[in-house]
């Protein structure tokens, strides 16, 4: 049996500093492939990442990045797989995944097509209703996909595996909790290291050096993203992580993590690590051990936390050690500058006073800090929204904490998405895009006006800090030179705010 694990090409919209594709080794697919190789399943594995073609094509009001449909179909036909597994990380890209499935069935009509990822985990019936898709896999894929392949290998096309959906009846095997309908791998150390040898690592590194790095503000020549933990015990209304990774915090041990990092550095020359964990500092003792290990490298392996960390786990010593170990910046997930909104609406157990402490610690040790904010939650008032904008800009002025503020994106599989849908707080259909909410307190037009005003003020603070703080000027010039396209669109959006 031959398995082809595929990643579709990418839909790109030119919007601010994110106006670029982000390409990195596919962590989930590599973990599935590694697990397969160590299982009882017999067969061969090929990974095809359609993004690596790195070509751009204009399609109406968006761009497609990666191989053309013709190229994708030809690659699948040449591979002649028996099973095709499709990975899709974002609801905004689900149409590309479904198109990949159509091309897969056309190129290999007798192959079994399986799809997984967060969107499919929330809408499995939508996925299997597609004529090109045979199975949908919910949640983590290592064990379920392997069990499915073992079943297919013995001729069982209707296996009863929790989280493997071929018909509506298979939903009966799921747990009653819609946010965590399946079980999850535990302990995580039972998983082998990802199968990096099955992909063209130098190609990913080359694209990163051209500005197509896995994350924005990335300064390495051989960067990579990695996860050292999964799951989140917190219940923020906008986050869908529990659907794919569960509520329980599960972490690789410090020993496993050290081995993983050492493998990346020794075998692939990795010089920058993006720790993508949702809860890197949830277990502060484990985090401290990882940072101690990062401090052993000479020269330092640079690292950051682009997915956000908690703001209440920091001490001055912890910030100092992060800086000394090679950390280039931290991103703190604040969400709102109003404590009532955090407590009652976002349901994020976070004390803003502790966040201010973190900001002071980072400024004291010279560690760059970014912050996530979201405006437009149902239940917020205009005063709440404006207070969050003021909080974000004030902390930018006072502490240099770079704000990354955006209107709410309703993500399928979240409480806020269900709330918006059930209450009818939207116009037309709910898209997985910014600024979809309409309540008695605000509507998209009002929120857009506030957001534009924020962009204008943020640009002014950016310019002032660049002119008055020499290290900021050097950093920002470096940023603009590395991401000229993104800088252009960010400036354009800010200037449009004046109109």
- Higher-confidence residue: 430 or 438? 438
Is 355 a domain residue? yes
Q: Which of 173, 196, 231 is the last residue of a domain?
A: 173
pLDDT (0 to 100) of residue 499: 47
Q: Domain span at residue 255?
A: 217-496
Pair of tokens at residue 99:
């198109």
DSSP reduced 3-state for 251: strand
Place of tokens 């990092």: 261
Is 179 a domain residue? no
Is 269 a domain residue? yes
pLDDT (0 to 100) of residue 17: 45
* Structural contact between residues 272 and 281, judged by C-beta atoms closer than 8 angstroms: no
* Structural contact between residues 414 and 240, judged by C-beta atoms closer than 8 angstroms: yes
Q: Quick one: CA dihedral 463, 464, 468, 471, positive or negative?
A: negative
100-152 pLDDT tens trace: 999 999 999 999 999 999 999 999 999 999 999 999 999 999 999 999 999 99
Rounded to whole angstroms, the Cα distance separating 272 from 305 reads 11
Axis-axis angle for helices 316-324, 352-365 (nearest 10): 40
Which H or E run includes 5?
strand 2-7
Whether residue 256 sits in one domain with residue 140:
no
pTM over cut 0.75: yes
Can you give the length of the chain in residues?
499
Name which of 219, 203, 201 is nearest 211 in CA terms.
219
Is 198 a domain residue? no
Read off the pLDDT of each residue in 399-425 and give the average, rounded to a whole number: 93
Domain count along the chain: 2
Whether residue 159 sits in one domain with residue 269:
no
Least confident of 16-25, 70-79, 189-198: 16-25
Residue 169, Cβ neighbours under 10 Å: how many? 10
Please say if the pLDDT value at position 216 is more than 80: no
Whether residue 225 sits in one domain with residue 130:
no
Using pLDDT thresholds of 50, 70 and 90, give the confidence band for residue 497: low
473-489 pLDDT tens trace: 988 888 888 777 666 66
Is 57 a domain residue? yes
Whether residue 222 sits in one domain with residue 164:
no
What is the CATH classification number for the domain harbouring 433? 3.80.30.20
What is the CATH classification number for the domain harbouring 39? 3.40.50.2300
Whether residue 147 sits in one domain with residue 222:
no
């Amino acid at each position: 049996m031959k398995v082809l694990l595929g990643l579709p090409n990418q839909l790109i919209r030119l919007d601010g500093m994110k106006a670029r594709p982000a390409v990195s080794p596919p962590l989930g697919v590599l973990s599935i492939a590694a697990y397969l190789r160590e299982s009882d399943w017999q067969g061969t594995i090929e990974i095809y990442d359609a993004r690596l073609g790195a070509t751009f094509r204009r399609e109406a009001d968006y761009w497609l990045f990666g191989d053309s449909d013709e190229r994708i179909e030809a690659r699948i036909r040449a591979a002649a797989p028996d099973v095709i597994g499709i990975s899709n990380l974002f609801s905004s890209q689900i149409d590309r995944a479904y198109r990949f499935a159509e091309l897969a069935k056309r190129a290999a009509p007798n192959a079994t097509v399986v799809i997984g990822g967060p969107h499919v985990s929330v809408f499995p019936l939508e996925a299997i209703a597609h004529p090109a898709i045979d199975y949908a896999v919910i949640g983590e894929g290592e064990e379920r996909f392997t069990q499915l392949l073992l079943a297919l290998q013995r001729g069982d096309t209707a296996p009863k595996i929790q989280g493997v959906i071929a018909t509506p009846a298979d939903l009966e095997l799921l747990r009653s909790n819609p946010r965590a309908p399946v079980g999850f791998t535990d302990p995580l150390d039972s998983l082998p290291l990802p199968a990096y040898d099955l992909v063209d690592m130098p190609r990913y590194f080359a694209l990163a050096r051209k500005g197509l790095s896995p994350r924005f503000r990335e300064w390495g020549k051989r960067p990579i993203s990695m996860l050292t933990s999964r799951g989140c015990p917190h219940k923020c209304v906008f986050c869908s992580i529990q659907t794919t990774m569960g509520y329980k915090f599960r972490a690789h041990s410090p020993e496993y993590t050290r081995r993983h990092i050492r493998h990346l550095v020794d075998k692939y020359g990795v010089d920058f690590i993006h720790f993508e964990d949702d809860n890197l500092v949830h277990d502060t003792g484990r985090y401290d051990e990882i940072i101690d290990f990062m401090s052993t490298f000479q020269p330092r392996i640079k690292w950051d936390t682009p997915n956000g960390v908690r703001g209440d786990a920091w001490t001055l010593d912890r910030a100092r050690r992060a800086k000394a170990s090679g950390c280039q910046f931290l991103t703190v997930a604040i969400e709102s500058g109003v404590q009532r909104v955090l407590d009652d609406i976002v349901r994020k157990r976070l004390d803003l006073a502790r966040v201010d402490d973190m900001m002071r610690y980072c400024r004291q040790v010279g560690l760059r800090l970014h912050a996530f904010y979201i405006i437009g939650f149902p239940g917020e008032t205009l005063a709440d929204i404006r207070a969050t904008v003021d909080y974000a800009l004030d902390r930018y002025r006072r502490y240099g904490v770079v704000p990354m503020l955006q209107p709410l994106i309703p993500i399928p599989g979240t409480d806020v998405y269900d709330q918006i849908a059930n209450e009818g707080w939207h116009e037309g259909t709910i898209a997985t895009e910014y600024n979809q909410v309409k309540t008695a307190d605000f509507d998209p037009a009002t929120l857009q006006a506030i957001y534009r005003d924020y962009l204008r003020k943020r640009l002014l603070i950016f310019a002032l800090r660049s002119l008055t703080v020499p290290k900021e000027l050097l950093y920002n010039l470096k940023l603009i030179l590395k991401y000229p396209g993104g800088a252009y669109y960010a400036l354009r959006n800010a200037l449009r705010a004046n109109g």
